Amino acid sequence: MANVLFEQEYPAMTTPVALTIAGSDSSGGAGIQADLKTFAALGVYGASAITALTAQNTKGVTGIHAVPAAFVTAQIDAVFSDLDVAAVKIGMVAQAASIDAIAAALARWKPRHVVLDPVMVATSGDRLLAAEAVTALRAKLMPLASVITPNLPEAAALLEEPIARSEAEIESQGRRLLSLGCRAVLIKGGHGEGAESTDYLVASDTTLALAAPRVATRNTHGTGCSLSSAVAAGLAKGEDLATAVRNAKGWISAAIGSADRFSVGHGHGPIHHFHKFY
């Protein structure tokens, strides 16, 4: 009887699920940990497949241990065989073998939305993707992506070009990235200059500029991971891409703006994923 009453008071609801495929950050500010915090903060159930373990803190990365590609596959298959995954976020992939495994798994399971964050360098400046793996990422993962979310240096690296310095150059790079097979590009402006941080969503028929005041803080660890995860969370909840990006931009701006409430570590501290709650 108690169970019946409980079910009547709290009827079953469809729970949006997102899967993050990324590396682990031992300090909890970026990677898998940041992704799961973002999903939770935005009302989405998060699952994970870990591609690499990093020994990392707010000051830098001291070690990377890649997970065998076969075990990356096993994690992804375990999640998809049981959970109704509405969106996938891909972050740090570490090595070409993992890229092959992820591409094969996504081709097999065919998720509705894929957000690819081409993580190459950590906030601290440490390289997180082997140079030889960049070609594999371009060829095998980008064509599967609903949207890719490079920052300005990553967009330039993917195209093997100098970093864009103007809105026209950013849009031009976005268009060239589209030609590599992804359906949309969100170029993040956090590495730019000026009073505003502007992100550019470039799709086949439009370019959308999203500006927010630039926040003066050292606590930016995990910003890129969290923004791409926020986009994935919106897509998992049924939002269209433009809406998901707008909402993610507003949320990440508030998380950065609230970051100085924390005193964590001695380097680039984390953003405040749960700023709405405490």
Catalytic residue numbers read 188, 220, 222-225
Q: What is the DSSP letter of 204?
A: S
Nearest 10 degrees: CA dihedral of 82, 24, 267, 160? Answer: -100
Contact between 116 and 88 (Cβ < 8 Å): no
Burial of 59 (0-12, 13-18, 19+ CB in 10 A): middle
Strand order of the β-sheet with 147-148 is 60-66, 45-57, 17-25, 87-90, 114-116, 147-148, 184-187, 196-203, 207-213
Instruction: Output the six-digit token pair for 52.
Output: 């690499």
Contact between 87 and 235 (Cβ < 8 Å): yes
Contact between 244 and 89 (Cβ < 8 Å): no
